[in-house]
Structure 1
Amino acid sequence: MEAVDMHAEAWEGIRNGFETGRLAHAYVIVGSPRGNALHFAESFLKLLFCESAEKPCNECVACRKVEAHKHVDTLWIEPQSKSRQIKADEVRALVHRMTQTSFEGGWKAGIILSAECMNTNSANVLLKTLEEPPPKTILLLVTSSPQALLPTIISRCQKIVLSEGKAGEMDADWEEPLMGILRDLPPMGGLDAARLASRLKGLFDLLKAGIADAVENDLDLGEEALDESKLKVILEARTSSLLKEVQADVFRIMLDWHRDVLMLASNIDSRHLAFSGEQRILEEQAKSHTPASALQAIQVVEGMARRLERNIPDLQVFDEAFRKLAIRS
Structure 2
Amino acid sequence: MEAIDMHAEAWQGILNGFTSDRLAHAYVIVGSPRGNALHFAESFLKLLFCERAEKPCNECVACRQVEAHKHVDNLWIEPQSKSRMVLVEDVDGLIRRISQTSFEGGWKAGVILQADRMNIESENKLLKTLEEPPAKTILLLVTDSPQGLLPTIISRCQKIVLSEGRAGAMDDVWRLPLLEILHSLPPTGGLGAARQASQLKALFDVVKDGIADAVVEDLDQHDEALDESKLKGILEARTNARLKEVQADVFRIMLDWHRDVLMLASGIDAAELVFANERDVLVEQSRRHTQGSALQAIQVVEGMARRLDRNIPDLQIFDEAFRKLVRR
Tell me what 1:260 maps to: 253
1:130 aligns with 2:101: no
From the superposition, tell whether residues 81 and 29 of structure 1 become closer, same or farther in structure 2 (CA, over 3 Å).
Answer: same
1:91 corresponds to: 91
Contact 2:88 2:122 (8 Å CA) reproduced = yes
The alignment partner of 1:111 has SS state of: strand
Amino acid at match of 2:249: D
CA deviation after TM superposition for structure 1 residue 2, in Å: 3.1
Q: Deviation of residue 110 (structure 1)?
A: 0.8
Partner residue, 1:24: 24
The answer to whether the aligner puts 1:181 opposite 2:161 as a matched pair is no
Asked if 1 retains the 8 angstrom alpha-carbon contact of 2:107 and 2:137, the reply is yes
- Relative to the length of structure 1, the TM-score reads 0.66
CA distance in structure 2 between the aligned counterparts of 1:323 and 1:247, rounded to whole angstroms: 19
What are the superposed Cα offsets for residues 157-202 of structure 1, whole Å, 9 maximum, x if unpaired? 001112579xxx969xx94x64443234489666765566557667
CA contact (8 A) 1:33 1:144 kept: yes
CA separation of 1:101/1:253 partners in 2, compared to 1, >3 Å: closer, same or farther?
A: same
**Who is 1:121 aligned against?**
121
2-side partners of 1:164 and 1:271: how far apart?
A: 31
Task: Give the 3 Å change call, closer, same or farther, for CA 104–67 of structure 1 in structure 2.
Answer: same
Structure whose CA Rg is larger: 2
- Equivalent residues in 2 for 1:121-270 (5 A)? 121-163=121-163, 175=172, 178-185=174-181, 193-194=197-198, 197=201, 255-264=248-257
Worse-superposed segment, 255-264 or 96-105: 255-264
Say whether the 8 Å CA contact 2:200–2:318 is kept in structure 1: no
User: Is residue 290 from structure 1 mapped to residue 298 from structure 2 by the alignment?
Assistant: yes
Deviation at 1:325, TM superposition (A): 3.1
User: CA 1:16–1:117 in structure 2 vs 1: closer, same or farther (change >3 Å)?
Assistant: same
SS at the partner of 2:65? helix
**Structural mapping, 1:43-54, within 5 Å:** 43-54=43-54
Deviation digits for residues 195-231 of structure 1 (CA, Å, limit 9, x no counterpart): 665576678889999xxxxx9xxxxxxxxxxxxxxxx
Residues 89-135 of structure 1, C-alpha deviation per residue, up to 9 Å, x if partnerless? 22122111111110011110011112122222221211111111111
Q: Secondary structure at the match of 1:98?
A: helix
Taking structure 1 as reference, are residues 202 and 253 closer, same or farther at Cα in structure 2, changes over 3 Å only?
Answer: closer
* Residues 181 and 199, structure 2, Cα contact 8 Å, conserved in 1: no
- Structure 1 unaligned residues grouped into runs of 5+: 210-214, 216-244, 304-318
Identity of aligned residues (%): 54
Task: Describe the SS at the equivalent of 2:123.
Answer: helix
Distance 1:131 1:194, change over 3 A: closer
Q: Can you list the C-alpha shifts for 1:247-299, whole angstroms capped at 9, x where unaligned? A: 999986665333222345567999696x8756777997997753584375388
What corresponds to 1:227 in structure 2?
none
CA RMSD, 1 decimal: 4.5
TM-score by length of 2: 0.66
Q: Aligned in 2, Cα 1:111/1:296: closer, same or farther, shift over 3 Å?
A: farther
Aligned pairs, number:
276
Structure 2 distance, partners of 1:279, 1:47, is 49
Cα distance in structure 1, aligned partners of 2:124 and 2:207:
40
> Counterpart amino acid of 2:179?
R
Contact 2:86–2:119 (CA under 8 A) maintained in structure 1: yes
1:248 and 1:158 map into 2 onto residues whose CA distance is: 28
2:92 partner amino acid: R
- Relative to structure 2, which stretch is displaced further, 285-294 or 84-93? 285-294
Return the match for 1:325 from 318, 321, 325. 318
- Once residues 118 and 210 of structure 2 are traced to their aligned partners in structure 1, the CA distance between those partners, rounded to angstroms, is 35
| 8 Å Cα contact 1:189/1:323 also seen in 2 | no
User: Is the 1:148–1:272 Cα contact (8 Å) retained in structure 2?
Assistant: no
Distance 1:195 1:100, change over 3 A: closer
CA distance in 1, matches of 2:282, 2:95: 36
